[in-house]
Structure 1
Amino acid sequence: MHFWRMTMVTRRRLLFLPIACFALVLTGLPGLSAQSSEQIDLDAIQRIKEEGFDRSQVMDTAWWLTEVHGPRLTNSPQLRAAADWTVKKLTEWGLANAKQEPWGETFGRGWSNERTVVHVVKPSPWPVIAYARAWTPGTNGPVVAEAVLAPLATDADLDKFRGKLKGKVVLLQAVREVKPMFDAPAHRYTATELNELAVQEPPSPGRGGFGPGGGQAFAAKRNAFLIAEGAVAVLEPGSGRGDSGSVLVGSGGSRNPKDPPVPPQLAVATEHYNRLARMVGKGTPVTIEVDVRSSFHDADQNMFNIVAEIPGTDKADEVVMLGAHFDSWHAGVGAVDNAAGSAVMMEAMRILKQSGLRLRRTVRLGLWTGEEQGLIGSRMYVKNHFADPATMQVKPEHAQLAGYFNMDNGTGQYRGVYLQGNEAVAPIFRAWLVPFENLGAGSLTIRNTGGTDHLAYNAVGLSGFQFIQDPIQYSSRTHHSNLDVYDQLVAADLMKNAVITAAFVYHTANREQMLPRKALPKPTAPPRPPTQQ
C-alpha cells in the first residue's frame, strides 16, 4: 500500500517508531530529551509534496530572476527590474502585502556594466576572458595600449614604476600558479562527512587582527598613484579557487560618489592573465585593446528589501519568517548565489498558499538586498523591526517572531539544519526531518555557520537557521564567479529544498509554542553619551 493512502492513525503509528529510535540515539547529548512529543502533520506534508513536486515553478522563477533579468548587483537597474517582477509575481500568487520595503538608510550609488571587450592586438591577436570590477569606471571608448607588468605591492614598488605607466595597460600581479584539478569539483556530502559535521567542536580562539585598514589603505594609495600616472586600465587574475575558466569578480571601487576615483579595473581568467604576464615578463611587447562601458546610477541611492505574507489565523500577530538574499555579483547571472535561495523561498510561499493549508501564525517572506556588501538588507530589517544589536533594546515585534529560515549555500539539496548553538530546537527539528529522510535530509549539527542573513537574527537573540546543503560546485567553481549561471542549478535539489522549507515553516506556524531561543546577547557597542546642548 502507498504510504500516503494509509489512514492518519496508521501513518502516525508508523512515524512514531523512527522518532523514538532517534530519541534513543540522542539520549545523553546535551539539551536533548529521551523522547520527542513533537506533532507532525503528515496530511499537510503530503499536500506540500504534491504541490511542490507535481506543480513546481521553482525553475521558472529562477529563470526569470537570472537569464531574463540578469545579475542583480545591489542598486543596479537589473536588480530593480527583477524586484518589480518579483513583487508582481508574489501578488499574482495571492500573497498579501507584497512590496519593496525601504531600508531607511542610504546604500550608495548603483553600477552596471554594458560592455567589456579585451583583445590582444600584437604580437598575435587573441580574445581575453575578462570582466569589469563593480563600481569601477569604463574606458570612455576603445583604447589600444602597450601592456606593462607592474606588481605594485609596496611603497617601493610605486617609486620603482613612477613615470612609467602613462597610457599603459597595467598587469598588476606576477604570474599565478595554476594547480591541476585532481578531485572532481562537484561533491555531495557522504554519510561520514555528515556524521563529522554533527560532532560539536569547541570554539577556536580568536586571532589577532591586522592593522586597521592596512590593506585597504594601500589599495587606495595605489589607485591614486595609477590615476596620477595615467594608466588606462588595470588587469589582475580573477583567481582564488577553481581557475580553468572560473573567474572570481567582485568590487574595485566605492559606492560613495564622494570618494576618490579609481582606474578601470578588470578581473582576467588566470590562464589568460598568465599568458600576458609571461610574454611581457620575457620582454615580448604586447599591445592590448580594451573597451569597457560602465555606468554609475546616482539618482536613487536608497535601497529596499522585498517582503510578502500569508496572513495567519488565531495566532496571526506572531510571525514565521523565511528568506534569502536577492542580490548577486555581476560576472554571471547570480544563479547559485543566490537566485537559488530566492526562488526556493518564493516557491515555498507559493506551495503553502496553493495547498490551502491553515496557518495559525503569519508567514512572511524576506528577500534581502545588500547581502554581498555585508548582510546590509537583513541587518536593516532586523534593526527596524526587532532590535539594534548595538543597544539590544528590543521592539515589540521581537517577542512575536517564532523563527527564521534561510537558504544561501548554492543549488545543493538540503541535508539537515545548522542549529546555531540552539540545543533546545534539536528534538523538534529531528522530528520534522523524519519524513524527509528518504530525500536525503536527516542531519543536525549544533555548529554555527556564517556568512549569510540568518546571522542578523541571531545577533539580536532570535532563532534564525540555515540549512545544511550539498556543496555541489559552490566553493570550487561557481560562488562569485562568471560560472554562476542558470545551467549550474540542479532542479531536483531546488524542488526538494522548497518542499522541506514549506514543511518546516508550516510546522513552525502551527505548533503551540514558538521555537525555543537562546539567551539574549549583550549589546555589541556601548550606548552613546547624551549630546551636549
Structure 2
Amino acid sequence: MKNFTKLIMASALFAGSTTFAQTKNAVVDNIVKEATDNSQLEKLAHELFDGIGPRLVGTPGFDKAGKWALDKYKGWGITARQEKWGEWRGWERGITHIDMVYPRVHSIEGTQLAWSPGMKKPVTAEVIILPEVTDSVAFQKWLPAVKGKFVMISMNQPTGRPDDNWKEFALSGSIDKMKAARTAQTDAWRKRISNTGFNTRTLPVALEKAGAAGIVTNNWSAGFGVDKIFGAYTKTIPTVDIALEDYGMLYRLADNNEKPKITIQAESKELGVVPTFNVVGEIKGTEKPNEYVMLSAHFDSWDGGTGATDNGTGTLTMMEAMRILKKVYPHPKRTILVGHWASEEQGLNGSRAFVEDHPEIVANLQALFNQDNGTGRVVNIGGQGFEKAGDFISRWLEAVPDTIRHQIKTSFPGSPGGGGSDFASFVAVGAPGFSLSSNSWSYGNYTWHTNRDTYDKVVFDDLRSNAILTAILIYMASEDPAKLPRDKSTNLPAGRNGQPGKWPEPVKANRHGGLD
C-alpha cells in the first residue's frame, strides 16, 4: 500500500511539473509569436522619434511624450500613471541658424546647446579664438577683447576622420604622426584653458560677463560629422556647437587673422519651473501582488538628435514587452511594473527618486531589468554582485530561444554598478537590478548623446530580439516560486585605484534641476 501511495504521489508531481512545463512553453511560444508577427516597434518609433522628437527633461517634448506613453498603455489595457517627483527648469528649443557671412557666404552646421538663452534677434559678429596666455593675470588683461564677438573655446581637431578609418587606409607612420599631433594639441589646449584661471564650465560665464556676443564650441564625438550636444552654462548669450568641418574652417580663418564673421539666430523660451515625473505602468499580480518584477528604461534624452538610441530603443523595448505580456500573460503571479525614468541624463534622478519614494516596492523586488546602451541586441548580463543571481537568471534564460540566448554572455556574481544607468539606483540600496547590455553598433561615438541619434540608426531586428528576451525574463521571474536572495558577494573585484571593491552608496535624487 505504501508503494502504491508513493506511486500516486510521484505521478501527481510529474503531472504537475509537466503541466507547468507545457504552460511555460506555451507562454514563451506566444511571446515569440506576438513579437514576431505583430510587432509594434516601427510604429512606436515613428510616433515617438519623428512625431514627438527629443525628450529633454523640463521641456514640452518630455511632457508630450509622457502623455503619449500613458495613452499607449491605456490602449493596451495596462494601468499607467505619471508620478511627479520633482521640478525642473522649463525650457523650449527654437530655431538655430548659423551662417558665415565673411570672407564668403556659407551656411554652417550647428545647434544651440540645451538650456541656451534665447536671442531676441540674429547677431552678426567676428569670430575669435581663445588665446594662449601665460596665466590668469594675462587672461584678465585680454578679456575686454571679447566684447561684441563670438568666442571659440574648443580645440581645432587635426582630423575629422575616425580612428578606424585611419587604421583601414593610412600608412603606419601617418597614423602614428596624427595621434602624436592630436595628443600634443589636446594637452596644449587643456593648458590653454587652465591658464585662464577657469575651467570648461566657468569659462563661458566669464566670457559672458565680459560682453561676448556668444560662445562657440565643438564637442567632436570621434566619428564622421558627429558631435555631442549637452547643456549651456551661459545665462544671457547663446552657446552653440558647430560641426567639426565648419568649426575647423572658422578656426583656421581666425587663426590666420582673416577675421571671419558669422550670423547666429538661436531661439528658445524659458518656461519657468515645471513638474517632472516618471511614467509607471502596472499589470497586477494574482498570487503575490505585493512582490514585483520590473522593466526599466529612461524616458528622457538629450536633444541634439531625437534620442532614438539613448534611450528611445530601451523605452520601446520595455513598452513592447509590456504590451506582449499583457496580451499573452495577463494574470502574472507577481505584479509587473515598468518604469520610464526622467532625468537619467542628469544623474539617474528619476529612478533614484522612485527608490526613495517606494521602499515597499524596493523591499519586495524580485528583479529589475534595465536596457540603456543603444539599439543592439543584448549580449551581456551580469549579476551585479548578488551572490545567488546566477542561479536565478541562468534558470530564467533557459526558457529563452537559443537563437537569442546563445548570443548572451553572463558574468556571475559580477560586480555592482555604481552608475551608468538606472539599474544602479536599485543596486545601491541592495535591490536586484540588472543591466541588459547590448552590442555596440558604434553607439559610443555615433549616437550616444549626439546630433545623429535619430530613427534611421535603429536596428529593429535587434529590438525585437530584446523585447522577446525581456518579456521572457519578466515572465520567468514572475513565475519563479523562489525569491531571489539579496546576499552580496564578499569578493568584489578591486577598483581602479587597486583598493578592495566596495558596494556603491545610495545617492539622493536632485529634485530641483537647473533652478539653483
TM-score by length of 1: 0.78
Counterpart residue type for residue 262 of structure 2: I
Percent identity (aligned): 32
User: Quick check: 2:294–2:336 contact (8 Å CA) kept in 1?
Assistant: yes
2:336 equivalent to 1:363: yes
Comparing 314-323 with 428-437, greater Cα deviation is found at: 428-437
> What is the aligned counterpart of 2:130 among 126, 150, 155?
150
> Is 1:100 matched with 2:65?
no
**Alignment counterpart, residue 302 of structure 2, candidates 314, 329, 336:** 329
- Mark the CA change 1:291 to 1:423 in structure 2 (over 3 Å): closer, same or farther: same
8 Å contact 1:223–1:263 — kept in the other structure? no
Distance of aligned partners of 1:358 and 1:516 in 2 relative to their CA distance in 1, 3 Å threshold: same
The aligned runs of 1:136-285 (5 Å cut-off) are 136-151=116-131, 155-156=136-137, 158-178=139-159, 180-181=161-162, 183=164, 218-219=199-200, 221-242=202-223, 244-253=224-233, 261-285=235-259
Q: What is the letter of the counterpart of residue 110 of structure 2?
A: A
For structure 2, which runs of at least 5 residues remain unmatched after alignment?
A: 1-13, 167-194, 490-502, 509-516
Contact 1:457 1:464 in 2 (8 A): yes
Q: 1:117 to 1:523 in 2, by over 3 A?
A: closer
Question: In the aligned structure 2, how far is the partner of 1:473 from the partner of 1:367?
Answer: 25
**Secondary structure at the residue paired with 1:373?**
coil
Structure 2 partner of 1:436: 401
Question: Structure 1 residue 290: deviation in Å?
Answer: 0.5
1:515 match: secondary structure: coil
Say if 1:483 and 1:216 are closer, same or farther in 2 by CA, change over 3 A.
farther
In the alignment, residue 358 of structure 2 is paired with which amino acid?
A: H
Q: Does 1:399 align with 2:363?
A: yes
Worse-matched range after superposition: 435-444 or 341-350? 435-444
CA displacement at 1:156 relative to structure 2: 4.2
Give yes or no for contact 2:283–2:330 (8 Å, CA) kept in 1: no
- For 1:409, the equivalent position in structure 2 comes to 373
> Structure 2: how far apart are the matches of 1:502 and 1:60?
19
Tell me if the contact between 1:167 and 1:232 (Cα under 8 Å) persists in the aligned partners. yes
Report the Cα offset of residue 422 of structure 1: 2.1
Shift of 1:337: 0.2
The AA in structure 2 aligned to 1:382 is V
Partner of 2:97: 117
Aligned-residue offset at 1:262: 5.0
- What amino acid does structure 2 have at the position aligned with 1:469? S
Residue deviations 1:469-514 (CA, integer Å, cap 9, x gap): 1111211211000100001000000011001000000011111122
Contact 1:40/1:431 (CA < 8 Å) preserved in 2? no
Report the CA distance shift for 1:351/1:122 in structure 2 as closer, same or farther (over 3 A): same
Out of 69, 80, 102, the position equivalent to 2:63 is 80
Match of 2:264 among 269, 287, 290: 290
Residues 347/525 of structure 1: CA separation in 2 closer, same or farther (3 Å cut): closer
Alignment of 1:421-432 (within 5 A): 421-432=385-396
CA contact (8 A) 2:430 2:486 kept: yes
What is the CA distance between 1:427 and its match in structure 2? 2.9
The secondary structure found in structure 1 opposite 2:54 is coil
Report the alpha carbon displacement of residue 289 of structure 1 after superposing the two structures with TM.
0.7
Amino acid in structure 2 at the alignment position of 1:510: E
In structure 2, C-alpha distance between the alignment counterparts of 1:480 and 1:376, rounded to whole Å:
17
What corresponds to 1:25 in structure 2? none
CA contact (8 A) 1:477 1:483 kept: yes
Counterparts of 2:463 and 2:24, CA distance in 1: 22
1:470 maps to 439
Q: Which sits farther off after the overlay, 127-136 or 343-352?
A: 127-136
SS at 2:121's partner residue? coil
Deviation at 1:284, TM superposition (A): 1.0
Q: Partner of 1:438: helix, strand, or coil?
A: helix
- Tell me if structure 2 keeps the 8 A contact 1:332–1:485: yes
Q: Give the secondary structure class of the aligned counterpart of 2:323.
A: helix
> 2: distance between equivalents of 1:47 and 1:525?
40
For 2:321, the equivalent position in structure 1 comes to 348
Counterpart residue identity of residue 379, structure 2:
R
What is the letter of the counterpart of residue 341 of structure 1? Answer: G
What SS does the corresponding residue of 1:518 show, helix, strand or coil? coil
- Conserved in 1, the CA contact under 8 Å of 2:296 and 2:318? yes
| Contact 1:145–1:169 (CA under 8 A) maintained in structure 2 | yes
Structure-2 separation of matches of 1:421 and 1:39: 33
Q: CA deviation at 1:232?
A: 1.1
Q: Distance in 1 between matches of 2:130 and 2:505?
A: 46
Q: Which amino acid aligns with 2:408?
A: G
Kept in 2: contact 1:149–1:174 (CA 8 A): no
Distance 1:398 1:39, change over 3 A: farther
Secondary structure at 1:423 match in 2: coil
Equivalent of residue 65 in structure 1, options 28, 34, 48: 48
Equivalent residue in structure 1 for 2:484, among 504, 515, 530: 515
AA in 2 matched with 1:264: P
Query: What does 1:480-491 correspond to in 2, within 5 Å?
Result: 480-491=449-460
Gaps of 5+ in 1: 1-8, 14-37, 186-213, 254-259, 387-395, 527-533
Shift of 1:174: 3.7
Rounded to whole Å, the distance in 2 between the matches of 1:100 and 1:184 is 46
Residue 289 of structure 2 corresponds to 316
Contact kept, 8 Å, 1:152 with 1:222, in 2: the verdict is no
Q: Give secondary structure in 2 for the equivalent of 1:75.
A: coil
Q: Is the 8 A contact 2:218 2:242 kept in 1?
A: yes
Once residues 477 and 236 of structure 2 are traced to their aligned partners in structure 1, the CA distance between those partners, rounded to angstroms, is: 49
Whether the 8 Å contact between 1:416 and 1:442 is mirrored in structure 2 is yes
